[in-house]
């Protein structure tokens, strides 16, 4: 019992704020934490949230009015060829009905093969459909006055679902009053004890110091999901549960023929760090390339959506454009951007797809059906 108490106390230095500093309180907390660690959802995450997870985006007909369902199915199959263990629906540009249809298509294609996740949405429907997990974050428009309000906001969502929940470790300006990083660490520490809270995504631009503090506080109970591959060997050397990276554009790091990221994560999980670093240096141009492109945008709550579709196409996915309107910090996929992506893949020893640029514009599945760029109603975020 005393050794278990020391473990909990070391990992939870703020413990006295919640249950008092007495040994009796520590024993209660220790028993509760162990019970939470043995929950069905946490056991599932320990077994299944491993390796790499990816994002699946919509693909559309040339007028952007309907989904290209075969193209979406192809992207799920592409994720399997990549060796990914899960895929998460990111329905940018799709309306509510199309998003629901995407969930159905991906579930049909992925069932029994790889896991399926969501970024929120109709959680009861997702449960019924067989979705495995969802990521949740704090609303950026909200402005809580106390950490208890922040905790309550998260609990409202978490208690409404039986899905496994992944927290989003990303800064929110209004939460800096509770922690300088903008990530509500005290709240996350409490949430980590809940039986269906299973992991945390560590956002791409997160500093090493913040990643360290999160692992110090939470890695005994949650799966850590770093996006920055520069951090992975360092964190995994010192903390358990650094075994998964998902909910982001992992296609930017590898191809089915050279699955660097999958291999590196597997080696790290096996504590074979010298071998993992050999793979790291092979893929380093890709690690740096996606960080330079994406990390600055995330600080402005944006993503390089068009580029993300291009990463997938270059490695064998469908590609195609998303019907998104120009906005601040939403980059256009121009010629220099496309060439840089291909150059980085070549530097890492990966040969980009041998197909005309027109195939990307309309999508691989549509191109095979005879659709050409002249039939597109527009070319959003492309030049």
Q: pLDDT by residue (tens digit) across 171-183?
A: 999 999 999 999 9
Same-domain pairing of 71 and 114: yes
The token duo for 98 is 């199309």
Q: How many domains does the chain have?
A: 2
In a domain, 49, yes or no: yes
In a domain, 345, yes or no: no
Residues 186/14, Cβ–Cβ less than 8 Å = yes
pTM to 2 decimals?
0.90
In a domain, 124, yes or no: yes
Same-domain pairing of 33 and 50: no
Report the alpha-carbon distance of residue 204 to residue 316 in Å, rounded.
24
Mean of the per-residue pLDDT values of the chain: 92
In a domain, 327, yes or no: no
In a domain, 73, yes or no: yes
Same-domain pairing of 118 and 165: yes
Same-domain pairing of 88 and 19: no
Same-domain pairing of 33 and 154: no
Question: In tens digits, what is the pLDDT along the chain, a chain of 383 residues?
Answer: 333 333 333 343 343 343 333 433 333 333 344 444 469 999 999 999 999 999 999 999 999 999 999 999 999 999 999 999 999 999 999 999 999 999 999 999 999 999 999 999 999 999 999 999 999 999 988 889 999 999 999 999 999 999 999 999 999 999 999 999 999 999 999 999 999 999 999 999 999 999 999 999 999 999 999 999 999 999 999 999 999 999 999 999 999 999 999 999 999 999 999 999 999 999 999 999 999 999 999 999 999 999 999 999 999 999 999 999 999 999 999 999 999 999 999 999 999 999 999 999 999 999 999 999 999 999 999 99
The token duo for 325 is 């309107």
Same-domain pairing of 202 and 141: yes
Dump pLDDT digits (tens) for 13-61.
343 343 333 433 333 333 344 444 469 999 999 999 999 999 999 999 9
In a domain, 207, yes or no: yes
In whole angstroms, what separates CA 197 from the centre of its chain?
A: 15
Q: Which of 275, 302, 329 finishes a domain? A: 302
Distances (CA, A) of 135 to 92, 119, 168, 200: 16, 5, 6, 8
HSE-CB at 276 with a 13 A cutoff on CA atoms is 21
Q: Which residue has the tokens 């790290």?
A: 268
In a domain, 336, yes or no: no
Q: Give the structural domain span for 33.
A: 2-38
Instruction: Give the chain's count of helices (H) and strands (E).
Output: 17, 8
Same-domain pairing of 181 and 264: yes
Residues 315/254, Cβ–Cβ less than 8 Å = yes
Same-domain pairing of 13 and 132: no
Residues 197/167, Cβ–Cβ less than 8 Å = yes
């Amino acid at each position: 019992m005393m050794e278990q108490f020391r473990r909990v106390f070391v990992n939870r230095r703020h413990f006295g704020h919640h249950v008092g500093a007495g040994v009796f309180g520590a024993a209660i907390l220790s028993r509760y934490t162990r019970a939470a660690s043995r929950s069905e959802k946490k056991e599932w995450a320990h077994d299944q949230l491993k390796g790499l997870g990816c994002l699946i985006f919509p693909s559309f007909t040339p007028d952007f009015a309907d989904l290209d369902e075969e193209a979406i199915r192809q992207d799920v199959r592409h994720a399997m060829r990549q060796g990914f263990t899960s895929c998460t629906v990111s329905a940018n540009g799709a309306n509510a009905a199309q998003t629901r249809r995407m969930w159905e298509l991906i579930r049909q294609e992925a069932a029994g093969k790889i896991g399926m996740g969501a970024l929120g949405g109709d959680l009861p429907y997702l449960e019924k459909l067989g979705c495995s997990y969802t990521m949740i974050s704090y609303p950026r428009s909200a402005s809580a006055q106390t950490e208890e309000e922040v905790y309550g906001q998260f609990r409202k969502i978490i208690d409404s679902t039986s899905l496994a929940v992944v927290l989003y470790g990303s800064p929110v300006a209004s939460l800096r009053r509770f922690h300088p990083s903008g990530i509500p660490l005290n709240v996350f520490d409490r949430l980590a004890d809940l039986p269906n809270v299973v992991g945390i995504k560590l956002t791409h631009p997160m500093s090493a110091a913040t990643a360290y503090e999160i692992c110090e506080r939470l890695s005994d109970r949650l799966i850590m999901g770093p996006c920055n591959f520069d951090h992975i060997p360092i964190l995994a050397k010192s903390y358990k549960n650094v075994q998964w990276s998902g909910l982001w554009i992992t296609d930017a790091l590898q191809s089915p023929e050279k699955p660097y990221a999958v291999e590196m994560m597997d080696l790290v999980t096996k504590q074979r760090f010298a071998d993992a670093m050999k793979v790291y240096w092979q893929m380093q141009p890709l690690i740096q390339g996606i960080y330079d492109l994406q990390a600055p945008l995330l600080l402005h709550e944006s993503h390089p959506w068009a580029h993300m579709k291009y990463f997938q196409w270059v490695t064998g996915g469908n590609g195609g454009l998303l019907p998104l309107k120009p906005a601040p910090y939403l980059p256009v996929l121009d010629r220099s951007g496309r060439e840089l992506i291909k150059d980085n893949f070549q530097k890492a020893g990966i040969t980009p797809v041998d197909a005309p640029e027109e195939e990307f514009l309309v999508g691989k599945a549509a191109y095979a059906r005879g659709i050409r760029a002249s039939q597109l109603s527009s070319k959003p975020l492309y030049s």
